[in-house]
A and B are shown apart, each in its own frame.
Chain A
């Protein structure tokens, strides 16, 4: 029922192009409903180890090596998974160091600076293996499927997810604008954690 969407080829003429773009937008948004609304309760089975060396941004990792998933973000378009990720972010106390994205003890997650990379697999590895300067390794404590959900949510905090996939506000006191209204902050590789900078 959900066939892949193909981009419309060729302009039909200036008069029709606005209508065409609008209908293209609507078709994209409509067909995207398939993936956006999927509730896959069984989640992803854990994959093998990360074999692609390009994914590793820094040569050293905290904690032991853990089996990890090498697929790119499976939940980039799944609103249900992103919303689960948001719940887990607070329940697993990511907010304890990163707060609601503004950072504090840990670096901010809602800005454009990504020390170890902003791709879903980078974030997955950050969470699973930990990072220097204080990010614990959660690979033995959070199942891979949930790590992917949290990674997808983290990307939404700086507006990297599509607006209809990113979560809305939650039923709590509001300390940040909702993720689905967050302007996209184009990721920048900065490489140096704040705590490692000289005073």
Chain B
């Protein structure tokens, strides 16, 4: 066995950090940014991109609300409105909600489990670039009048070749392919990282609840996303090469689309919700200064929600004339999923009761989450009922319901998470004062915007309408909703201002400004590229509370190469080492090749012939063995 030179395993802290810095550093400048394989760098840009899309989606909603403020308004004509509401749905669902949760997960999970990076750094970069390409593709098409206009759900036959001429729906189908690849990449990253890269001693039942939430979400993504990627390709094929999947005259079925889409679509909303539930657990623990009550129940609830969510999809199709007994099974399942969600809420309330709450801004957002999400949840139980849903399906009642659960269950926890982890990511605290204004404006604005919509739906106002007649009497409530929307816009604006101001002038955070219990707070803010100078060893669920002061750490790992510790799945015993790659441009090039492949496929099947060789070339470059990197080379030379 070759002797490792003494300076490859320094023992004093200072030289450890110096050498890790050298080993793990990102190349400086634009090239460094383009070639980065650091999950934090990728995670940050992922979050920023997703929030830009959030703002764009919100602006689209603002224009829609302006149009609907009065009957027979003329802000948007029917064609423009159809594009706007489709873009709003696609932006929020595909470009914001799932990616932002993914992004925060990719940033936080390695830190929370004591790892240096995600399991596959280059794949992580590829996933981000493909996501960015998909978003740019969709928006560039939108500005070129080729944005999709049949809704984010894009039912056939309306979205089929006969009733949606041109390339708009093809843009829809392909942009989803981009985002689904990115989501699948993130799912693979999260699952493998969580299973195999945890710090020694962090058995599965010592994992933080947020890590459990991301694990469940990743498995859901793995099982749900392929369905939407497939069904959109079936639609693309019907449109481009005259297949008959959805053509009833030739043996196809319009309902096939709905089944396949909603089989993805329902788990999708739980994919968005589950990380939010994870955020809430972390914030509740820190801000009540005690662990969340009922850890096993919480984990089992997360798992149940993930599993059950695949059995609910027909509740989107209660008006389609499916047999009633079959529909009732889905009523039962849709009601049943309330139970694990409810258990989590009860456990959080119990935790708050038993702990000593501090009313910081993240905690305010958690309180707001409970209120808004529970309102959305109970209207969810109402629409789970077939007979009631057949009245309110495709009306503004449903719009109210899902905005309550999505904003309550995802956006509020997300904002709380931003206030909570912004110090860790940037090293500075967000302003508490602006945060309170942010919270209250949003809380009031969201309720003012969406609560009237319950009544509008009951009064018969359908969804996806660019206008309505004055005689229906829907005007006043619509105006109220628009006023609420203005408050929401101001609230979001305050958040953006808070971020901008605090990045420059926020109070310095230090390692652990909140006194929290999980591993990410054991390193500096922001963390160094290598996350931890020493990989910690964990002996309980709340390592920073149970072992205050010094954490035990793994010793004997090399610091002169990008070695990452791989541990066993259940008990996290050290198992092997994994050599991570240095920064590289190939993931970006592969993403560009992927983009060329998908975009040309919209116009001609020959796109496969153009794009596939390009893609194979870039994959070849990606995977080409590099021989020894210079650090290894130096070591081999020194030891002869």
Contacts and interface: CB of A to CB of B under 8 A. Distances in A.
A and B touch in the complex (CB under 8 A): yes
Interface of A: 1-2, 22, 26, 29-31, 33-34, 36-39, 41, 79-80, 82-83, 86-87, 163-165, 167-174, 177-178, 180-181
A171 B242 contact: no
Contacts of A80: 165-166
A42 to B, nearest CB: 11
A165 B146 CA distance: 13
A30 B247 CA distance: 28
8 contacts: A30-B146, A38-B145, A79-B167, A80-B166, A169-B162, A169-B247, A170-B161, A180-B240
B378 interface: no
A171 B249 contact: yes
A70 to B, nearest CB: 26
B241 A167 contact: no
Given A22-B610, A174-B250, A178-B161, A37 B604 contact: no
A170 B246 CA distance: 11
Contact of A39 (B79, B239, B248, B596): B79
Contacts of B166: 33, 36-37, 79-80, 164-165
A38 B604 CA distance: 21
- Of B160, B166, B167, B599, most A-chain CB atoms within 10 Å: B166
A165 B633 CA distance: 58
B175 to A, nearest CB: 14
Interface of B: 79, 140-141, 143-146, 157, 160-163, 165-168, 238-242, 244, 246-250, 596, 599-600, 603-604, 610
A87 B140 CA distance: 30
B353 to A, nearest CB: 57
Contacts of B599: 26
B603 A168 contact: no
B162 A83 contact: yes
Contacts of A173: 249-250
A36 B146 contact: yes
Contacts of A1: 143-145
Contacts, number: 90
Contacts of A165: 166
B242 A174 contact: yes
Contacts of A2: 144-145
B334 to A, nearest CB: 32
Given A22-B596, A30-B146, A37-B145, 17 more contacts: A1-B144, A2-B144, A26-B600, A33-B144, A34-B144, A36-B146, A37-B146, A38-B145, A80-B165, A164-B166, A168-B161, A168-B162, A168-B238, A169-B161, A171-B157, A171-B160, A171-B249
B168 A181 contact: no
Contacts of B141: 33
B580 to A, nearest CB: 33
B237 to A, nearest CB: 10
B162 A178 contact: no
Nearest to B141: A33
A17 to B, nearest CB: 15
B146 A33 contact: yes
B603 A164 contact: yes
Contacts of A82: 165
A79 B242 CA distance: 17
Contact of A79 (B143, B144, B163, B165): B165
A164 B161 contact: no
Which of B143, B165, B248 lies at the interface centre, i.e. has the most chain A CB atoms within 10 A of its CB? B165
Nearest to B77: A41
A167 B162 CA distance: 7
A29 B161 CA distance: 18
Given A33-B145, A171-B157, A181 B249 contact: no
A168 B600 CA distance: 17
Given A2-B144, A169-B161, A171-B162, A37 B168 contact: yes
Nearest to B604: A163
B167 A33 contact: yes
A177 B603 contact: no
A181 B167 contact: no
Contacts of B247: 169, 171-172
A147 B55 CA distance: 44
Nearest to A172: B249
A180 B244 CA distance: 16
Given A36-B146, A37-B145, A167 B250 contact: no
Residue among A33, A83, A86 with most chain B CB within 10 A: A33
Contacts of B140: 30
A171 B247 CA distance: 5
A174 to B, nearest CB: 6
B241 A181 contact: yes
Contact of B242 (A22, A38, A178): A178
A170 B238 CA distance: 10
Contacts of B596: 22
Contacts of B610: 22
B146 A167 contact: no
B507 to A, nearest CB: 45
Nearest to B243: A169
A187 to B, nearest CB: 23
B86 to A, nearest CB: 13
Contact of A167 (B161, B167, B168, B238): B161
| 5 A-B pairs closest in CB distance | A168-B161, A83-B165, A33-B146, A79-B166, A170-B162
Contacts of B603: 29, 163-164
Contacts of A180: 240
Given A167-B165, A174-B250, A30 B144 contact: yes
B126 to A, nearest CB: 21
A172 B242 CA distance: 11
A181 B161 CA distance: 13
A130 B242 CA distance: 33
B611 to A, nearest CB: 10
A80 B168 CA distance: 11
